[in-house]
C-alpha cells in the first residue's frame, strides 16, 4: 500500500492547525487581558464564570424585552384625576410572572414558614401569623360571602385562583422568600450545596435557613453556620477547601420583587404587538387589540377578554354563552394572554406595584426605569469587620399601623441599616437614605401646601404642614404588654397620601371596564388588604437587552 507523504503531512498540518486554534481560543478566553494571568487556574488565583451565556429564566417568569413607551393615559380622562398625564419613559428588559401569584403558590410559602419557624415556639409565634392573608376581606355588612371567607385561600377548588387579602408588605416578603428558595435550589443543582438540603431544613434535620444575601456576603454564616457540613459535590476531594458560589459564578439569580409601576404598565399594554419593524400601528386602550372588551375573532367572537364588573349588579353577565365565566375572581389563564404572554393584566384582580404613590410622575427628574420609593441601605458591619447576621434565635418584628405584627427580618438574614450623610457625601446622584418624597414635598423642592405657613412642629406631632401631610396613626405597647392604638384625629391633615401609600394597577373583578386601561393608577396604604388586590413578581434582567440577535427584514 502506497502512502502519499505529501498528503499525510498536509493533513497533519491542517488538523494540528484546528487543534491549535481551539486551544488558543480556550486559552484566550481564560487569560486575563489586564494581567496576562490565567483565570480559573486549578492552582488558584482569580475565578470567574467565563462560560456564562445569559440569565436563566427563573420559575414562573416570562421575558419582557424593554423599550420606550408612553406611560399614562392616552384616552380621555373622564375622571379628571390628572394623575396619569402621558410621559415618555424607557424601561430596561426584565422578567415578570406569567400569572398572578395564586393561592397554591402562597400556601407553599405559608407551609414552609410553619415548618421552619413553628408558631408554637415563643420567639417564632408571630412569623406565621404575620404572613397570613386577611380572609375577612370578603365580608360585607350587607352581603353573605362566608363561603369565600372560609374556603377561598385553602380549598383546592380555588388553588389556581389569585391570592387576595395580602397587603403590600406581605407581597414584598413573599418575593424575598421566593428568591431564597429558587437560589437554594440552583445551588443544589450546581453542586455547591448537598442534594436534599432544602428538604432537610423543612423537616428539622438542618438547623438554620438559607438566605441569598447571607450566602453572598458571609457564606460561612448560611444555614446557621452549618454550611461547611452541607457542601456539595463541588467540594474538592483532595483537600479541605470549601467551595462557595459567588456572584461571579453566574449561578445566583437576581431577586424576585414587585414590578415598578413603569414596568407593570409597559408589560400590560404590550405595544410590541402593534410594532411593524420600527413603526407602531396606533394606540392601545387595553392589553389586547381593539376598542372593546369582547373578542372579535371568529372562533371566540363575543367572548369577554377579561373578568370585570359589567354594570351595576352585573359581575359576569347573564348565565350562559355570553357570561365571562366568573363572578368573583377567575382561575388564572382563563382568558387569552397579551402579546408578551402575560395573563390577566386587566381584570381578575388589581395588582400591587412597588411605587410610592404621588399624583405626578416626575419625568423631568428621570425618564429611565422610573420608580418612586428608593430607601437606600447598607450592610451592618460588626466591630470585628464581619457582616451582621441574625442568629437562629433572633427575629426582628414590626407592628403595622393597623396592629398586625410582621417579621421584618427572619433568623439568618443579613441586617441592613440606612446609609448616613457621610456615605452620601459629595455624591451627585443622591444625598440621603430615604428618597420617597424627593422633589415632592421636601425642603429641596419647596413644593408645600402653604410654604409660608408657620406652626409649632411639636404641637403638630413633629410634622410640618407640607403638601402630603397625611394622617399619622400611632400604635404602641404599654408597660404591661398591651397594644395601645391612637387614631390620628388632627384637623390639620390635608391628604391621605403619604410615604406608606402604594400604587396598585389594573382593573379587578369589582371594577368597571374603565379601570381595565393599564394606565389607570390608584393607591392604598401598604398595610391594608382587600378582596380585589393581588400581586405578581418581577425580576431584573442582567446582561443583554434582547435574548435573540436582531434579524433585519429582507428586501
The CA radius of gyration of the chain, in Å to the nearest whole number, is 28
- Indicate whether 411 pLDDT > 80: yes
| 298 in any annotated domain | no
Q: Give me the sign of the Cα torsion angle 39, 45, 48, 51.
A: positive
**Closest CA relative to residue 78, chosen from 378, 519, 547:** 519
- The better pLDDT of the pair 155, 77 is held by 155
CB count within 10 Å of CB 20 equals: 10
Number of structural domains the chain divides into:
2
| 363 in any annotated domain | no
Q: Report the range of poorest mean pLDDT among 3-17, 197-211, 318-332.
A: 3-17
Q: What's the average model confidence in pLDDT over 187-212? A: 91
Give the Cα separation of 71 and 92 in Å (integer): 14
- Indicate whether 139 pLDDT > 70: yes
For the ranges 2-11, 47-56, 439-448, the one whose mean pLDDT is highest: 47-56
C-alpha cell belonging to residue 261:
409601576
| 273 in any annotated domain | no
The residues with which 279 forms a beta bridge, in sequence order, are 276
Q: What's the average model confidence in pLDDT over 108-128? A: 95
Q: Are strands 94-97 and 538-540 parallel, antiparallel or unpaired?
A: antiparallel
- The better pLDDT of the pair 243, 192 is held by 192
166 with 532: CB under 8 angstroms?
no
pLDDT band at 280 (very low <50, low <70, confident <90, very high): low
Identify the DSSP state of 415.
P
pLDDT band at 294 (very low <50, low <70, confident <90, very high): confident
- Indicate whether 101 pLDDT > 80: yes
| 113 in any annotated domain | no
Share of the chain above pLDDT 90, in %: 56
164 Cβ contact list (under 8 Å, min separation 6): 133, 137, 152, 329, 349, 529, 530, 531, 532, 533, 534
What is the model's pTM?
0.89
- Indicate whether 153 pLDDT > 80: yes
Domain boundary among 384, 402, 435: 435
How many H helices and E strands in the chain?
9, 18
| 232 in any annotated domain | yes
Q: pLDDT of 258-268, one tens digit each? A: 999 999 999 99
Exposure string of 363-392, with b = 16+ CB inside 10 Å and e = fewer, is beeebeebbbbeeeeeeeeeeeeebbbbeb
| 251 in any annotated domain | no
- Indicate whether 176 pLDDT > 90: yes
Q: What does the CA dihedral 443, 444, 447, 449 come to, rounded to 10 degrees?
A: 0
Give the Cα separation of 60 and 58 in Å (integer): 6
Q: Which domain holds residue 32?
A: 11-51
**Closest CA relative to residue 71, chosen from 399, 518, 538:** 518
- Indicate whether 274 pLDDT > 80: no
465 with 453: CB under 8 angstroms?
yes
| 143 in any annotated domain | no
Q: Give me the sign of the Cα torsion angle 107, 113, 119, 125.
A: negative
177 with 362: CB under 8 angstroms?
no
Q: Quick one: 428 exposed, middle or buried, by C-beta within 10 A (0-12, 13-18, 19+)?
A: exposed
pLDDT band at 445 (very low <50, low <70, confident <90, very high): very low
Give the Cα separation of 338 and 273 in Å (integer): 8
C-alpha cell belonging to residue 269:
399594554
Q: What does the CA dihedral 186, 189, 192, 198 come to, rounded to 10 degrees?
A: 70
Q: Quick one: 174 exposed, middle or buried, by C-beta within 10 A (0-12, 13-18, 19+)?
A: buried
Q: Give me the sign of the Cα torsion angle 318, 321, 324, 328.
A: positive
C-alpha cell belonging to residue 127:
412569623
202 with 278: CB under 8 angstroms?
no
Q: What does the CA dihedral 143, 147, 149, 155 come to, rounded to 10 degrees?
A: -160
- The better pLDDT of the pair 82, 358 is held by 358
- Indicate whether 188 pLDDT > 60: yes
| 406 in any annotated domain | yes
62 with 343: CB under 8 angstroms?
no
* pLDDT at res. 342: 97
427 Cβ contact list (under 8 Å, min separation 6): none
**Closest CA relative to residue 255, chosen from 94, 100, 91:** 94
Amino acid at each position: 500500500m502506497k502512502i502519499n507523504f505529501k498528503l499525510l503531512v498536509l493533513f497533519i498540518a491542517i488538523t494540528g492547525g484546528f487543534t491549535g486554534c481551539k486551544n488558543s481560543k480556550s486559552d484566550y478566553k481564560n487569560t486575563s487581558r489586564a494581567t496576562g494571568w490565567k483565570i480559573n487556574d486549578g492552582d488558584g488565583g482569580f475565578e470567574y464564570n467565563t462560560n456564562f451565556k445569559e440569565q436563566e429564566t427563573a420559575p414562573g417568569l416570562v421575558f419582557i424585552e424593554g423599550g420606550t413607551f408612553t406611560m399614562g393615559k392616552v384616552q380621555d380622562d373622564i375622571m379628571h384625576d390628572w394623575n396619569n398625564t402621558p410621559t415618555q419613559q424607557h424601561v430596561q428588559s426584565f422578567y415578570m410572572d406569567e400569572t398572578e401569584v395564586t393561592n397554591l403558590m402562597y400556601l407553599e410559602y405559608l407551609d414552609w414558614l410553619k415548618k421552619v419557624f413553628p408558631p408554637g415556639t415563643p420567639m417564632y409565634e408571630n412569623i406565621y401569623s404575620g404572613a397570613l392573608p386577611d380572609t375577612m376581606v370578603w365580608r360585607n355588612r350587607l352581603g353573605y360571602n362566608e363561603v369565600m371567607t372560609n374556603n377561598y385561600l385553602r380549598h383546592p377548588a380555588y388553588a389556581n385562583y389569585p391570592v387576595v387579602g395580602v397587603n403590600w408588605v406581605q407581597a414584598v416578603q413573599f418575593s424575598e422568600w421566593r428568591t431564597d428558595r429558587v437560589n437554594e435550589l440552583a445551588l443544589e443543582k450546581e453542586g455547591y450545596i448537598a442534594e436534599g438540603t432544602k428538604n432537610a431544613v423543612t423537616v428539622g434535620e438542618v438547623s438554620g435557613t438559607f438566605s441569598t444575601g447571607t450566602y453572598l456576603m458571609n457564606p460561612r454564616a448560611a444555614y446557621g453556620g452549618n454550611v461547611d457540613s452541607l457542601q456539595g459535590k463541588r467540594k474538592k476531594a483532595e483537600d479541605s477547601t470549601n467551595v462557595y458560589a459567588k456572584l461571579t459564578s453566574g449561578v445566583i439569580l437576581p431577586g424576585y420583587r414587585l414590578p415598578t409601576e413603569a414596568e407593570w404598565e409597559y408589560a400590560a399594554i404590550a405595544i410590541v404587538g402593534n410594532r411593524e419593524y420600527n413603526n407602531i400601528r396606533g394606540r392601545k386602550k387595553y392589553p389586547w387589540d381593539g376598542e372593546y372588551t369582547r373578542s372579535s375573532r371568529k372562533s371566540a367572537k363575543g367572548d369577554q377578554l377579561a373578568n370585570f364588573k359589567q354594570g351595576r349588579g352585573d359581575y359576569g353577565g347573564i348565565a350562559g354563552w355570553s357570561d365571562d365565566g366568573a363572578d368573583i375572581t377567575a382561575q388564572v389563564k382563563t382568558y387569552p394572554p397579551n402579546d408578551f404572554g402575560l395573563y390577566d393584566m386587566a381584570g381578575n384582580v388589581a395588582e400591587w406595584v412597588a411605587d410610592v404613590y404621588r399624583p405626578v410622575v416626575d419625568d423631568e427628574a428621570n425618564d429611565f426605569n422610573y420608580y418612586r420609593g428608593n430607601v437606600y441601605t447598607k450592610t451592618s458591619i460588626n466591630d470585628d469587620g464581619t457582616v451582621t447576621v441574625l442568629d437562629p434565635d433572633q427575629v426582628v418584628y414590626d407592628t403595622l399601623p393597623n396592629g398586625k405584627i410582621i417579621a421584618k427580618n427572619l433568623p439568618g438574614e443579613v441586617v441592613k441599616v440606612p446609609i448616613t450623610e457621610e456615605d452620601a457625601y459629595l455624591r451627585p446622584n443622591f444625598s440621603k437614605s430615604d428618597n420617597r418624597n424627593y422633589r415632592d414635598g421636601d425642603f429641596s423642592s419647596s413644593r408645600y401646601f402653604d410654604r409660608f405657613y408657620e406652626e409649632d412642629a411639636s404641637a403638630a406631632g413633629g410634622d410640618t404642614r407640607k403638601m402630603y401631610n397625611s394622617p399619622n396613626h400611632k400604635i404602641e405597647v404599654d408597660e404591661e404588654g398591651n397594644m395601645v392604638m391612637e387614631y390620628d384625629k388632627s384637623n390639620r391633615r390635608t391628604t391621605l397620601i403619604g410615604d406608606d401609600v402604594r400604587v396598585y394597577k389594573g382593573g379587578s373583578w369589582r371594577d368597571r371596564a374603565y379601570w381595565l386601561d393599564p394606565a389607570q393608577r390608584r393607591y392604598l396604604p401598604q398595610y391594608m388588604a382587600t378582596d380585589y388586590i393581588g400581586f405578581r413578581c418581577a425580576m431584573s434582567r442582567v446582561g443583554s437587552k434582547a435574548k435573540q440577535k436582531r434579524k433585519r427584514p429582507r428586501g
